[in-house]
A and B are shown apart, each in its own frame.
Chain A
Amino acid sequence: MSANSSPTATTPEATTLETEVLIIGGGVTGAGIMRDLALRGIHSLLIDKRDLCAGASGGNHGLLHSGARYVSTDPDAATECRRENSLLKRLAPQCIETAGGLFVAVEGDDPEFAERFPALCQRAGIECEELSPGEARRLEPVLSEKLFKAYRVPDATIDPFHLAMLNVDHARLLNGSIYRPHTEVLGFEIAAGEIRAAICHDHLHQRQLTIRARQFVNAGGAWAMNIARLAACADVHLLYAKGTILVSNDRLAQRVINRLRPPGDGDILVPAGTVSLLGTTSTRVEDLEQVAPTAEEIDRNIREGAVMIPALAGARYIRAFSRVRPLLQTSGTTDRAATRGFALLDHASQGVSNFCTITGGKLTTFRLMAARTADLVARRLGNDQACVTATVPLPDDEASSWADPAAAPKRWHHDRDPDDMILCECEMVPQSAIEQVFANSPGIEKERTIDLIALRTRAGKGPCQGSFCGIRIGSYLYDQGYYRDATGLAHLRDFLDERFKGQRSVIWGPQAAQMELAEALHCGLLGLDTLKDE
């Protein structure tokens, strides 16, 4: 039998895992489903072909919508957002900054739309308070002098990485549910109208993995259509909208600032810790894997954003990224107007009885999406426990709070051991944070890497983008014996290559100087461009 003859071919290294529910996709929705099921006593295994929030969950501006953005285009989504916004502020405050938001209209924007806005908010139950242009500019001095209308709404910001980590950690503590990164589904074993197992590839150990479960959940986000097709389900129809967002070096405003007009390019600036995020262009794409910001998208975001906030034209940007958002396909609408609502498909019509797909939606409504999915899964398992995620607060966990942009500087002022050295000076991440992250990531003893630290802390996210802290963290990991050979340098190179993808499209002004210094250090001195590949 040839090794490739069928996906179920067993090789000596093949391993089989068992669980009640296999959840495919480690975005916030998958993580939310994992916790929701655990709260009902159901064991699950969550896998992601990369790692937590590698798709749209980690590639958005981190806005916890008040709902006001959708009052004109999608009133139902607006109402959903409003409800989830206030629930999450109560239940997961550690992931949220209640920054507040403004909607502002500037010369040239439609005054009629601006006038109608409060009524539309009211219809969706969203608080909306009018401010005089002078008052708005007092609150946010970066706003354009050409401002003529401003409203205050309860927008907030939410850290999706922190959120996903806390959901996963809580599920693990509740009933030992397991999260496995770098595990990709290749196919399903289907018999008598049921999926019996998912055949996966473990990218970390380069081996095949068979995962047996009673229920299978597809929370693949933009990849959901592809995953559904692996189970011969042809009823998932998605549009792919590529969104491009820029990250500025400084926090330009305290509040979320939205352009008061129908959704468009460069119409929102969202604060996140010490930086701001400017978004978002929307472009239809076909390819899910090859998405990078283009110079044209960058320029368009800045040009549009600068109408509302002139300082954006000359601001220093440290990153730009693009992600694909899955939009549910409905006929005859534009991408902007396509529903931001979500869909749960039970696939009963497709001949499989223990598989479902959850897709569409948005970060703000992840809990609701998880609840609906878990309801279906629990029912199918004969479990009659009700969803409790609308009432049980998300427990805190110190280790994952290192992902929170505001946490490290706060801690810096509290307890400071002079021997606990700051490895990432831009974001104040000390050695002890690394040990905490490792201590709280059981089952990954073999993967105590620069990448893990980068994912689970703010390290490398500041102005130097890991140029210096990557080296310091690498040295620390060698010191502690986590690296014993050239692997550490290869990981350092890969980490820098990965950070660069996000920097590449915004390298001008001071960033070009920063990049010259970084390259002189990493390549000119350390020779990371000539490491022998093992």
Chain B
Amino acid sequence: MEIVKFMLMIGGMVLVTFIPRVLPLALLGKKELPEKVVLWLSFIPAAVLAALLAPSILLKNGNLYLSLGNTALIAFFPTLLVAYKTKNIFYTVSGGLIFYLLISLLF
């Protein structure tokens, strides 16, 4: 990636990552966020993760990809089960990779 574009991207990413991490910690106690804002924020993690997950397993080259040939889609189901049972990132990611490999060998 060209260096100027990279620096711009990193600079922007640092800024938008650093501020939400530090601000509440540094300002707390003095001012509480409005209740509605806190409620809205509480839905962001689930919403953004679902929004990221769906295209990563259901789209290919900008089109819906519903088929047994879609390895990621098939691997999603056993991976979800591991995630639900263990709630552990390491087990889920390793399990997911193994499922993905096995399924790509089978289909």
Q: Do A and B come from one complex?
A: no
Residues of B bordering A, CB below 8 Å: none
Residues of A bordering B, CB below 8 Å: none
